[in-house]
Structure 1
Amino acid sequence: MVQKFIELALRNRLIVLLLAGGLFAYGIYSVRQNPIDAIPDLSENQVIVFTEWMGRSPQVMEDQVTYPLVSNLQGIPKIKNIRGSSMFGMSFVYVIFEDNVDIYWARTRVLERLNFAQRLLPQGVTPSLGPDGTGVGHIYWYHLDAPKMDLGEQRALQDWYIKFALQTVPGVAEVASFGGFEKQYQLIVDPVKLQYYNISLMDVMNKVKANNNDVGGRKFEMADMAYIIRGLGYIKNKEDVENIALSNYNGIPVRVKDIGSVQMGGDLRLGIFDMDGKGEVVGGIVVMRYNENANKVIETVKAKMKEVEKGLPDGVTFKTSYDRSTLIQEAIDSVKGTLIEEMIAVSLIVLIFLFHWRSAVIILIQLPISVAAGFIFLELFGISSNIMSLTGIALAIGVVVDDGIVMVENAYRHISESQTAKINSSDKA
C-alpha cells in the first residue's frame, strides 16, 4: 500500500507539489486566524452574578440575597454546578455550565431567570451579570503617571474618560478601575442639632435625594414665542448641598449646613494599589472577551490609548503595569527560532554527510509545511496558539527533522544501490 502510494506520488509530481503548496498556504491562513495567547484558557464555562447591598453583614447577604439567587438559578438547563459566596455588602453567584455550552446562550438564560428571581430580593437590590470574560482575561494593566493631580482627580479621569474610551475597543469585555479615591460628598451630621431641630436622619437623606434632581415643567407661550419651563436642581458643588432646606424652625428654614458640615472626600477603600513601593497610583485592568485573539486585542488597546492620551491633561501619561503581549511574542519567537535553527542544522548535516544539496532542500521544504499543518489542526479543533501548543510544535519539529533525515538518507541509499547495480550490470554486458 505504501509503495503504491509512493509510486502514485512520483508519477504525479506536479499534483503533489500543488497539494503541498495549497497545504502550506492554508497553514499560513490558519496561523493568522488562530487566536494567539500566552496562557491556555483552562477556566470553567461560567457566568457570574454580582449583587451589591452596602452595609449588610455576610450573614444577611447569605440569607436574603445569595440563597434566593442560588435556589432560583438551579433550574437552568445544562448547568453543571452553582457556587455562592457572600461577603460584607456583596454577593457572588458562580453558575458553571457544561463545556460545550455557548457562553452567550448561557448568559441569556441566566438573565431570564434573574428577572424572575428579582422579586425575591429586598427592595432596591438589583443583581447584575459579570463581564463576559474568562479567568485568564486580564490581558493588560496600565496606570496613570500624573504628578500634578491628586488620587481623587486621577480616579475621576480614569472612571469618566479613559475607561469609557477603552471599552469601545473590539474584544474588550470590561475595563476595571483600581486605585485612588472615588469622589463623593460627605455629610457629617451633628446628632445634638438634629434633636434640637426635631429632624430625623431619614429626613435628611430623603431631602438630599429629592433636591438632587431636575424637574420638567410646561410650555409657556408669550408673544408668539414658546418657552420650556424646567427646574434645575442637580448638585454641582459643596455649597449646593449645604443650602438644601430640610425643615423650618419658627418660620426659619433649616438647611443642611445648620445641622452638620459637608466636605468632599473619598469612598471607603478596602485596599490600595502601590507601584514599586514609590506610592499609590490609579489605573485600569483590560479584560478580554471569550474566544478573542489576545495579541490583536492588546495591539488595538495600545492604539486606542495613543488616541486617548492626546486628550489627557498636560503632564498625564500612560504607564504599562502588565502586558501579556510580551510573553506572547516571546513564545512566537521561540518557535520561529527553533524552526530556523533546525533548518540550518539539518541542512549542514545533510550536506556534510551526503554531499547532496537536493536532499537538504527536501527537508527544508518539509519543515515549514509540517508546522503549517499543525496550525491547521489547531484552528480546526478551536485550540489557541499558546505556550503549551507552541511548545508542543517546537518539540515536534525535532521529530520531523529526525524523520526527514532518516527518510532522505534511506531514499538516497536505495537510489545509490540501484544506480550501482545498473552500472555493474552494464559492465558485465
Structure 2
Amino acid sequence: MQPTEKVGLVGHVIAACAKNRWLALLVVAALGIWGAISMRNGPLDAIPDLSDAQVIVFTEWPGRSPDLVEDQITYPSSSTLLAAPKVKAVRGQSFFGLSFVYVVFEDGTDIYWARSRVMEYLNTAQSKLPDGVTPSIGPDATGAGWVYQYALVDYTGKHDLAELRSLQDWNIRFALESVPGVAEVASVGGFVKQYQVNVDPNKLRSYGIPMNKVIAAVREANQEVGGRTIEIAGHEQMIRGRGYVKKLSDLESIALKVRDDGTPVTLADVAEVQFGPDMRRGVAELNGQGETVGGIVVMRYGENALNVIDRVDRRMEEIEQGLPEGVHLETTYDRSGLIRESIQTLRHTLLEEMLVVSIVIFLFLLHARSALIPVLTLPLGVLLAFIPMYYQGLTISIMSLGGIAVAIGAMVDASIILIENIHKRLELWQEEGGRETR
C-alpha cells in the first residue's frame, strides 16, 4: 500500500477550482472587474505624496520687522497651536511683515479635521495678537499639489506688466479657482497695481495735520454709509452714501481739515496721489525673453491630478477666448505629460512581457493553450494589485507603476515555471498509465 501524499492548502484550492471550473472563472472575472474599477477610480499622480498632514497659518503685519513679528505673532500663535489634539510639531518662521506657522499632525490624520482644529485654536490665539491682525490658514493642498503653471504672453507689446498682473489677479485667477479640484491659483511676476499717497512732511507741518489723521481720513473715505428708508409715491426708497474710491481724483478730494475761512484742506494739498507698483521681492521670467506674469495651479488634497489638469486645460481654452488682443496663455509646466508617459510605459511593458512569454512557451512546449496562460494571468495580476492600493488610499504614481512593471518580471518567471511543471507532471502521469489529455 503506497502512502498517500499530503495535499496542502494550494492543492486544495487547485482541486476545488478544477471541480468548479465555471465558478472559478466567474470569481476570476469578478476580481478582474473589481481591479479595473479600483484602477479607474484611484487617485492618479506623477509622484507619490510623502508630505506630512500639515496646516499652514499665514499672517500679515505690514511694515514690521522680523523680530517684532516673531514676538507679537509667531510665538503666540505657535504656543497656542501646540495644545491642539494630534499635533506632532509646530514650526514658525518670521519675515518682514509676514508670519508662517506650520502645524504638523500625526500620520493618518484627516486634513479637513486638522484644519477645523487649527481654526478653533486660532480663535483662542486672536486675543493675544495685535489689533487689526487676523491669521488665515493656507489652501487645503500638500507639497505635491503644484500640478500646472502658465504664463501670460503679450506678443503685441500693448500691455505692460502691471496690466497683465491685474488681468491675472482679477480675471484669470478667479476663473481657474472655480475649477473642481483646484485649491489655489498663486500669481507670480509683474507689478501689483496700487494707489500710492506720497505725503510731504513739510506741508503736514505747515497745516498742523498729524500723519495718523491722514491715514484715518483715507481709510474712512473708501467706504459706503448706510441710512434709513423713506417713502416716495408709495414706494420705499433706501438712503445711502456711496464713497468708494474709483479714480485718483476721489482720493485727492478727501478733506483733512477746515481752515478758519471755511475752505477745506484736501489730500492733494499735502500729498501726491498716483498709481504705482507694490513692493515686490521676486520676478518671473519666461525662457530668457524678459519678465512675464504667470500663475501656479495648486491641486486640492486627495484629488486625481490627471482629471484636474484636464479640467484646467478646458477652462484655459475658454479663458483665452476672452483675453485682450495679443495676450495669450502659454503653459510652462504640465504634470499630465509625465503621468501619461508612466501609464504608457506600464502598458508597453505588460504587452511586451505577455508577447515574449507566450512565444517562448509555445516554442518550447508546442502547446497553444499553455501559451495563453500568461496572456490571462499577467493582466489579472496587475489589476489585482490596484485593489488594496485603492482601499488603502495609495496614489497611483511613478513609484507604484514602476514597482508593478518590475513585478511583472517575477510574474513572468512564475508563469513559465508553473506551466513547465504542469507539463512535466502530466507527462509523468501519462507514463504511469494515466488518461491522455487533450
Q: For the structure 1 residues 245 and 18, does the alpha-carbon distance in structure 2 shift closer, same or farther, using more than 3 Å as the test?
A: same
Match of 2:142 in 1: 134
Provide the C-alpha distance between the structure 1 equivalents of 2:67 and 2:372, rounded to a whole number of angstroms: 72
Provide the C-alpha distance between the structure 2 equivalents of 1:372 and 1:3, rounded to a whole number of angstroms: 24
Specify the code of the residue in structure 2 equivalent to 1:82. Answer: V
Provide the C-alpha distance between the structure 2 equivalents of 1:273 and 1:340, rounded to a whole number of angstroms: 44
Provide the C-alpha distance between the structure 1 equivalents of 2:234 and 2:131, rounded to a whole number of angstroms: 48
1:162 to 149, 172, 192: 172
Deviation of the 1:366 alpha carbon: 0.5
Q: For the structure 1 residues 13 and 86, does the alpha-carbon distance in structure 2 shift closer, same or farther, using more than 3 Å as the test?
A: same
1:114 to 122, 141, 145: 122
SS at 2:142's partner residue? strand
TM-score normalised to structure 1 length: 0.95
Deviation of the 1:320 alpha carbon: 0.7
Matches within 5 A, 1:154-193: 154-193=164-203
Specify the code of the residue in structure 2 equivalent to 1:123. Answer: D
SS at 1:134's partner residue? coil
Deviation of the 1:338 alpha carbon: 0.5
Matches within 5 A, 1:7-406: 7-147=15-155, 148-251=158-261, 252-406=263-417
**C-alpha offsets along residues 13-35 of structure 1, whole Å, 9 cap, x if unaligned?**
11111111111111110110111
Deviation of the 1:223 alpha carbon: 4.4
Provide the C-alpha distance between the structure 2 equivalents of 1:413 and 1:406, rounded to a whole number of angstroms: 10
Deviation of the 1:249 alpha carbon: 3.0
Provide the C-alpha distance between the structure 1 equivalents of 2:286 and 2:389, rounded to a whole number of angstroms: 39
Deviation of the 1:423 alpha carbon: 8.5
Provide the C-alpha distance between the structure 1 equivalents of 2:71 and 2:235, rounded to a whole number of angstroms: 59
Provide the C-alpha distance between the structure 2 equivalents of 1:424 and 1:9, rounded to a whole number of angstroms: 20
Specify the code of the residue in structure 2 equivalent to 1:255. Answer: T
Deviation of the 1:416 alpha carbon: 2.7
Q: Please say which of residues 182-191 and 313-322 is displaced more in the overlay.
A: 313-322
Provide the C-alpha distance between the structure 1 equivalents of 2:25 and 2:81, rounded to a whole number of angstroms: 57
Specify the code of the residue in structure 2 equivalent to 1:69. Answer: S
Provide the C-alpha distance between the structure 1 equivalents of 2:289 and 2:136, rounded to a whole number of angstroms: 36
Specify the code of the residue in structure 2 equivalent to 1:66. Answer: T
Specify the code of the residue in structure 2 equivalent to 1:108. Answer: S
Q: For the structure 1 residues 371 and 260, does the alpha-carbon distance in structure 2 shift closer, same or farther, using more than 3 Å as the test?
A: same
SS at 1:287's partner residue? strand
Provide the C-alpha distance between the structure 2 equivalents of 1:118 and 1:337, rounded to a whole number of angstroms: 57
Provide the C-alpha distance between the structure 1 equivalents of 2:181 and 2:141, rounded to a whole number of angstroms: 10
Deviation of the 1:182 alpha carbon: 1.1
Provide the C-alpha distance between the structure 2 equivalents of 1:55 and 1:274, rounded to a whole number of angstroms: 27
Deviation of the 1:219 alpha carbon: 2.7
Equivalent pairs: percent with the same residue? 52
Deviation of the 1:424 alpha carbon: 12
Deviation of the 1:412 alpha carbon: 1.5
Q: Please say which of residues 262-271 and 298-307 is displaced more in the overlay.
A: 298-307
Provide the C-alpha distance between the structure 1 equivalents of 2:86 and 2:393, rounded to a whole number of angstroms: 21
**C-alpha offsets along residues 273-329 of structure 1, whole Å, 9 cap, x if unaligned?**
111111111121111122111111111111222222222222222111111111111
Provide the C-alpha distance between the structure 2 equivalents of 1:12 and 1:221, rounded to a whole number of angstroms: 87
RMSD: 1.7
Specify the code of the residue in structure 2 equivalent to 1:338. Answer: T
Specify the code of the residue in structure 1 equivalent to 2:167. Answer: L
Deviation of the 1:56 alpha carbon: 0.6
Provide the C-alpha distance between the structure 1 equivalents of 2:196 and 2:329, rounded to a whole number of angstroms: 31
Provide the C-alpha distance between the structure 1 equivalents of 2:266 and 2:397, rounded to a whole number of angstroms: 63
Deviation of the 1:222 alpha carbon: 4.1
Deviation of the 1:344 alpha carbon: 1.1
Residues matched between the structures, number = 425
Deviation of the 1:361 alpha carbon: 0.4
**For structure 2, which runs of at least 5 residues remain unmatched after alignment?**
1-7
**C-alpha offsets along residues 30-74 of structure 1, whole Å, 9 cap, x if unaligned?**
110111111111101111111110111110011111111111111
Specify the code of the residue in structure 2 equivalent to 1:373. Answer: L
Specify the code of the residue in structure 1 equivalent to 2:258. Answer: N
SS at 1:319's partner residue? strand
Provide the C-alpha distance between the structure 1 equivalents of 2:144 and 2:239, rounded to a whole number of angstroms: 53
Deviation of the 1:225 alpha carbon: 4.9
Deviation of the 1:357 alpha carbon: 1.1
Provide the C-alpha distance between the structure 2 equivalents of 1:61 and 1:231, rounded to a whole number of angstroms: 38
SS at 2:273's partner residue? strand
Q: Please say which of residues 222-231 and 132-141 is displaced more in the overlay.
A: 222-231
